[in-house]
Structure 1
Amino acid sequence: MTGKVRIAFVVATAENGLIGRNGKLPWRLPSDLKRFRQVTLGKPVVMGRKTYDSIGKPLDGRENIVVTRQAGFSRPGVHVASSVEQALALGQELAEGRGVDEVMVIGGAEVYRVALPRAERIYLTLVHAEPEGDARFHALDPQQWRETAREPMPHGPNDQFSAEFIVLDRQG
């Protein structure tokens, strides 16, 4: 692969910025999970340990990198990093080896916060709801991000709320 490997976020956030409640997603949106798979398949995914625990297993078809300070953490099919920087560097190395152009950061809130200065693209699902919860997505500076795509999420029969798929690219 020639060219630079981009750091990209994949995040679903409610209109009030909420992304989680008690270690889980605060909504049921199978249509968004389908898009998540399409956007991340074949690419390295970086996540915090709590996000990994909420998923419960490595995501298939992707190199899984878990950031944790927990000594001795080890799971089959998972690369372990002790910092977000280490995880992103490993993700870029794995992406280059696979010939893909993105490393996907998939949460949680603290990993997003630490990785934000390195992010160049955000695949955002804006969920049209304002649920309660305990994890929020860091507010973005509108001067640093521009919307490059927006489309309504196809509303499936099991989707709890409507939503939009938005792509944001860092300016400059």
Structure 2
Amino acid sequence: MPQITMIAAAAENNALGKDNDLVWHLPDDFKRFKELTTGHHIIMGRKTFETFPKPLPNRTHIVITRKKDYQKEGAVVVNSLEKALELAKDDPQPFIIGGGEIYELALPEADKIELTRVHGTFEADAFFPEIDEKNWTLVASHFHPKDERHNYSFTYLTYQRAE
């Protein structure tokens, strides 16, 4: 069984982004995202996929959409989370990478959450679901201060589904 991991950067008010874009720029978080997801299946909604200038290298892109005839080069297109997870079943750790609606759908299926908690609150139109502490155990936490390359401090949080 693969370990399904949700990976996201969300503000203290769970804001993910606005108008299909992130509301912050955190190079070290992008670097960590790349390190964790390279070589794996990344599962996302159509709007998230369309924010990429081109498919991310060395990853299998699975795009979930309700649009029946949607096709994009570099992506496997499916119409449900179940179908996406079925396609990723041979990957020991497929990643759910957004957006808000997809995270909401995937939360009950996820085994792990890699969350970058951006310290601030932002106006947004996409949000990460609330993490219920009864269902999740924080297993790792690493603080990253604000610096010349990062306008906000943030903390990498790793949650494991509680037994």
Q: TM-score range by the shorter chain?
A: over 0.9
2:103 is the alignment partner of 1:106: no
TM-score, structure 2 normalization: 0.95
SS of the equivalent of 2:94 reads strand
| In 1: Cα distance, 2:20 partner to 2:38 partner | 23
Give the Å deviation of 1:133.
1.0
Specify which of 120, 144, 154 is matched with residue 163 of structure 1: 154
Specify which of 140, 146, 169 is matched with residue 137 of structure 2: 146
Give the Å deviation of 1:57.
2.0
| In 1: Cα distance, 2:94 partner to 2:144 partner | 23
The one-letter amino acid of 1:43's match is H
The one-letter amino acid of 1:119's match is A
SS of the equivalent of 2:67 reads coil
Give the Å deviation of 1:159.
1.5
Give the Å deviation of 1:156.
5.3
2:32 is the alignment partner of 1:35: yes
How many pairs does the alignment contain?
Answer: 163
Give the Å deviation of 1:31.
1.0
Specify which of 23, 26, 30 is matched with residue 26 of structure 1: 23
Residues 70-81 of structure 1 aligned to structure 2 (within 5 Å): 70-81=67-78
Aligned to 2:59: 62
Identical-residue share of aligned pairs (%): 37
| In 2: Cα distance, 1:6 partner to 1:155 partner | 32
TM-score, structure 1 normalization: 0.91
The one-letter amino acid of 2:26's match is L
Structure 1 segments of 4+ aligned residues over 6 angstroms from their partners: none
| In 2: Cα distance, 1:154 partner to 1:35 partner | 15
| In 2: Cα distance, 1:153 partner to 1:48 partner | 28
Give the Å deviation of 1:154.
6.2
The one-letter amino acid of 1:121's match is K
| In 2: Cα distance, 1:73 partner to 1:129 partner | 36
RMSD: 1.2
SS of the equivalent of 2:139 reads strand
| In 2: Cα distance, 1:53 partner to 1:107 partner | 12
Q: Structure 2 unaligned runs (5+)?
A: none
2:87 is the alignment partner of 1:90: yes
Aligned to 1:51: 48
- How big is each residue's C-alpha offset from its partner over 1:91-121, in whole Å with a ceiling of 9 and x where there is no partner? 123x1xxxxx201000000101111110000
Q: Structure 1 unaligned runs (5+)?
A: 96-100
Higher share in helix: 1
| In 2: Cα distance, 1:14 partner to 1:146 partner | 19
2:117 is the alignment partner of 1:120: no
2:132 is the alignment partner of 1:134: no
| In 1: Cα distance, 2:145 partner to 2:84 partner | 33
